[in-house]
Amino acid sequence: MIFRQLFEQESSTYTYLIGCEETREAVFIDTVNSEVDQYLQLLKELNLKLVYVLDTHTHADHITAAGALRTATGALTLLGEQAHSFCVSKALHNGDEIRVGQLVLKALFTPGHTDDSYSFIMENKGQIYAFTGDTLLIRSTGRTDFQNGSAADQYESLFNHLLKLPDHTWVYPAHDYKGWTVSTIAEEKAHNPRLQVKDVTAYVDLMNNLKLPDPKMMDIAVPANRACGKT
């Protein structure tokens, strides 16, 4: 397995490149459109053929490179069926398996940050990787106050799905704003301040009182991402 985490500073976005060492097929998760040239350089240098570009959800803080990468490489672009995006190659459903050579990523519907949020779960050599998008962040969770977000749905996604993954599962989120690159389910259970609530009511109350400003790029990014990155 080939694995690279990339960081885009403007929106503090983590992008993941995962490739199969045998077949040289690869997938990108949560790309940023300003970085397309770098993605193409890395694919070429690692001798990888891009087959899929996944987005965990319709982002409000940056524009996806999915469309540009599809044009450049012929890869298929995937996004949750709930996004109702007319331009993706294929809509994702809960439980879908995305095969990249000998690797399999399982799509897990984890709504709450948005109503089209998915996580991708992969196992390789006994190690489980959870790409949690904006659902589970390191010591935080994604806001739930726009784009049909729902704190109650996010509670369900977190407590009844993601936190039920094995303790040693790596947590790779779509963002981190303090420079942390990875966590584990055990760590988040123990130390994520938003996960110490006693029930769904307390979580909803917590999330509904964050009083966050709208993301700077929201009015541009959401329609652009629905159009696969075309602005």
User: In the complex, which residues of this chain contact its own copies (CB under 8 A)?
Assistant: 4-9, 35, 38, 42, 45-46, 178-182, 187, 190-191
Give whichever of 14 and 109 is closer to its own copies, judged by the CB atom.
14
Beta bridge partners of 141: 136
Least distance (Å) between residue 16 CB and its own copies? 11
Give whichever of 45 and 97 is closer to its own copies, judged by the CB atom.
45
Give whichever of 11 and 132 is closer to its own copies, judged by the CB atom.
11
Indicate the residue type of 49: K
Indicate the residue type of 132: T
Which residues lie below 8 Å from residue 192, measured CB to CB, with a gap of 6+?
Answer: 136, 138, 139, 140, 141
Tokens coding 137: 């962040």
Give whichever of 38 and 89 is closer to its own copies, judged by the CB atom.
38
Least distance (Å) between residue 183 CB and its own copies? 9
Other beta carbons less than 10 A from residue 21's beta carbon: 11
Beta bridge partners of 3: 18
Least distance (Å) between residue 138 CB and its own copies? 10
Least distance (Å) between residue 74 CB and its own copies? 23
Give whichever of 181 and 201 is closer to its own copies, judged by the CB atom.
181
Distance CA 29, CA 79 (A): 10
Distance CA 183, CA 172 (A): 7
Least distance (Å) between residue 63 CB and its own copies? 16
